[in-house]
Each structure stands twice: as structure tokens, then as C-alpha cells.
Amino acid sequence: MRTTLTIDDQVAMSLKDIAHRSGKPFKEVVNEALRKGVHALEHPEARPYRLSSTSLGSVRPSINLDKALSLADDLEDAAIAMKLELRK
């Protein structure tokens, strides 16, 4: 497809320099640059996900963390019992 573009002088000089150094035609260098630019616009680089830690407080003295699975079972049983009570 033929089209007319107005390119900044500095960009045109950079593209001509790349074409000269690589031995490629100016048109090919421009198309490669446009492809890379369009790809970067369509697929922006993902930023790393950052999560800051927050203190949840200290453990209550009555809770033994060595028995975490047992504690989870007890909490689940209590939640189920509460739901069943609300249905009555």
C-alpha cells in the first residue's frame, strides 16, 4: 500500500542511518520499525506485580498453630453449624 507520511527530521535521519548501516532499503527499515511499534502498542510490556505485606496481628494464646488443619476443620464445622441454624 502506498501512502504519504510526514516523519520528524530526527526520526528520518535515524531510519536512514539504520538503512545505510544494515544495507537494507529505507522502505524495509521503515516497515520493520512500524511493525515493532505497532506490536509494542498492541502488547504493552507487563509491569511486575508488587504486593506489600501487612501484619495481621499476633496469634491468640489459645490457638496452637502446630494443629492448623485441626483448627481449619473446627472453623469450617462452626461455619456450617451457623448456616444450618440460620435455615431453621
pLDDT of 33 reads 96
What pLDDT is attached to residue 88? 66
In this structure, are residues 10 and 4 in contact, taking their beta carbons and an 8 Å threshold? no
18 belongs to a structural domain: yes
Q: How far, CA to CA in Å, does 25 sit from each of 33, 39, 54, 70, 77? A: 13, 21, 57, 72, 74
pLDDT at 16: 96
Q: Output the furthest CA–CA distance in the chain (Å, rounded).
A: 84
In a domain, 23, yes or no: yes
Domain that holds residue 34: 9-42
Which pLDDT belongs to residue 29?
A: 96
Place of cell 504519504: 4
Is residue 77 one of the residues assigned to a domain?
no
- Does 26 reside within a domain? yes
pLDDT digits (tens, 9 = 90+) for 58-88: 888 877 778 888 888 989 999 999 999 988 6
> Domain tally for the chain?
1
Residue 29 lies in a domain: yes
- Encode pLDDT of 29-66 as tens digits: 999 999 999 999 999 888 899 999 998 888 888 777 78
